[in-house]
A and B are shown apart, each in its own frame.
Chain A
Amino acid sequence: MSDLNMLNQVRAFIDSEADMLDFEDYQGWLDLWTETGTYIVPIDPQESDFANSLNYAYDKKEMRELRVARLNSGEAVSTQTTDKTVRQMGRFRILDEGAAFVTVRCSMYLSECRHGNLKTYPADLTYTLKKTDNGFQIEEKVIRLQNANAYLSSIGYIL
Chain B
Amino acid sequence: MTDLINIKNVAADYDSLIMEDKVHTSIYSNPEIFEEELDKVFNNTWVWVGHESEIPDVGSYKTAMIGRHSVIVSRDRKKNIHVLLNRCRHRAATVCEGKRGKTKSFMCPYHGWGYSLDGALRAIPKPEEYEGVINKEDYPLISLRFETYQGLIFATFKEDIEPLEDFLGGAKKWIDLFVKQGGGYPLKVLGDHRFRFPGNWKIQLENTTDAYHFPIVHKSFVSSVDDQTAEIFDFLDGEGHVEDLGNGHSVMVMIPELVDLEKDLDAPIPERFQALAEELAAEGHSDLEVRRMVRAVGGSGFNLNLFPNVACSMAFFRVLAPVSVEETEIHHVAIGGEGAPAAFNQMRLRLHEHFQGPMGFGTPDDAEAWERVQKGSKAGKDEWILVNRGMGNLKESPDGNVSGAVCSETGMRSAYQYYKKMMTA
Contacts and interface: CB of A to CB of B under 8 A. Distances in A.
Interface of A: 41, 43, 51-58, 63, 66-67, 69-70, 73, 75-79, 81, 115, 149-156, 159
Interface in B355-369: 357-359, 361, 363-365, 367-369
Contacts of A63: 354
B353 interface: yes
A150 B358 CA distance: 12
Nearest to B331: A151
Given A78-B364, A151-B329, 8 more contacts: A43-B193, A53-B191, A56-B359, A75-B219, A149-B99, A150-B194, A154-B367, A155-B364
B364 A76 contact: yes
Given A51-B346, A54-B192, A70 B367 contact: no
Contacts of B195: 151-154
B368 A77 contact: yes
Main secondary structure of the interface of B (DSSP, over half): helix
B316 to A, nearest CB: 10
A84 B387 CA distance: 36
B358 A154 contact: yes
B359 A41 contact: yes
A79 B197 CA distance: 16
Residue of B220, B353, B369 with most chain A CB atoms under a 10 A cut-off: B220
Contact of A55 (B342, B353, B367): B353
A156 B364 contact: yes
B223 A77 contact: no
A153 B329 CA distance: 9
Nearest to A55: B353
B90 interface: no
Contacts of A56: 193, 353, 357-359
A150 B197 CA distance: 14
A70 B361 contact: yes
Interface in B361-409: 361, 363-365, 367-369, 371
A69 B219 CA distance: 12
A150 B195 CA distance: 8
Contacts of B196: 151-153
A52 B334 CA distance: 12
B369 A77 contact: yes
A63 B354 CA distance: 8
Contacts of A43: 191-193
A76 B219 contact: yes
Interface in B321-359: 329, 334, 342, 345-346, 349-350, 352-354, 357-359
A78 B334 CA distance: 22
Contacts of B358: 56, 152-155
Nearest to A56: B359
Given A43-B191, A56-B193, A70-B224, A76 B365 contact: yes
B345 A52 contact: yes
B361 A54 contact: no
B379 to A, nearest CB: 15
A94 to B, nearest CB: 28
A114 to B, nearest CB: 9
24 contacts: A52-B342, A52-B346, A54-B191, A54-B192, A54-B193, A54-B349, A56-B353, A57-B359, A58-B349, A66-B361, A67-B361, A69-B223, A69-B224, A75-B219, A78-B367, A78-B368, A79-B220, A151-B195, A152-B195, A152-B359, A153-B197, A154-B197, A155-B359, A159-B359
